[in-house]
Amino acid sequence: MSRKQIAAANWKMNLTLQQGEQLLNEIINKPHEISENQLVIFSVPAPYLQMAQQKIADKKGVFIAAQNCFNKKNGAYTGEISVEMLNSLGIQFVVLGHSERREYFNESNSFLAEKINICLENNIQPIFCCGEPLSVRESNTQNEYVAKQLKESLYHLSADQLLKVVIAYEPIWAIGTGKTATSDQAQEMHAFIRKDLANVYGNDIANSISILYGGSVKAANAVEIFSQPDVDGGLVGGASLIADEFVAIINALQ
């Protein structure tokens, strides 16, 4: 996948099936242009994947993502979701390593590396989340922290595999808090991530990866954040649950 500008919604554990269906209807029927270099992705709860996939079936540039999958092919793992299941629904993206999964479900960098592997082996593109907690930002060691996440979960991949990964930088202190990183802070970290990728894979590969910003993105700040040269769109939680907000965020893509 060449570098795309992406608006990705993360519904998390919100909405009923009926509310989700209504929200999708409202968003996809509102006027917005999705150009060749742009994608819109809805990461929806697992029980709604099929409904959502059917709803966007004829929409160009619109995709559905799962919010998680397991690192095993199949078997006795009650409650888990396999990549084979996602394949059977036609799902092409999955969010991995969200800070909520790292925090509440103890997902480690190495466990995430296994999930990344099984996704790529099965043609599912991971949206890999990374980002530091407030204590790390306050000690000004966020670059080292994020570099370790990238190294331990991604840098075993071949260049061809890496090209299928979307990275989402989400400073934990900005998620769901209303406290957005400034556009300068976002750009600084995105440029650092791209440089770190370039050190391992070279400039061409690094410049081909989409790096999304996540953390209290809303209609009012999306244009400024997305206009930064190394920011290729956003992963959006709260504001993606409001049709007008998310449509404005889609329209803020460069």
Nearer to ligand PEP, 201 or 252 (CB): 252
What gap in Å lies between CA 160 and CA 1, rounded to an integer? 10
Q: Which stretch binds ligand PEP (CB under 6 A): 48-56, 112-120, 139-147, 237-245?
A: 237-245
Taken as a whole, the chain contains a residue count of 254
Nearer to ligand PEP, 7 or 201 (CB): 7
Q: Which stretch binds ligand PEP (CB under 6 A): 52-60, 66-74, 117-125, 230-238?
A: 230-238
Residue 176 CA: distances (Å) to CA of 12, 121, 216: 11, 33, 6
Least CB distance from residue 137 to ligand PEP, whole Å?
Answer: 15
Q: Which of 5, 68, 153, 216 touches ligand PEP (CB under 6 A)?
A: 216
What gap in Å lies between CA 113 and CA 159, rounded to an integer? 15
What gap in Å lies between CA 224 and CA 53, rounded to an integer? 31
Nearer to ligand PEP, 55 or 102 (CB): 102
- The structure tokens 């929806």 sit at 44
- In our burial notation (b when 16+ CB lie closer than 10 A, e otherwise), range 185-208 reads bbbbbbebbbebbeeebeeeebeb
Residue 146 within binding range of ligand PEP, rule CB under 6 A: no
What gap in Å lies between CA 253 and CA 126, rounded to an integer? 20
Residue 175 within binding range of ligand PEP, rule CB under 6 A: yes
Residue 212 within binding range of ligand PEP, rule CB under 6 A: no
Residue 236 within binding range of ligand PEP, rule CB under 6 A: yes
Site for ligand PEP, rule CB under 6 A: 10, 12, 170, 175-176, 214-217, 235-239
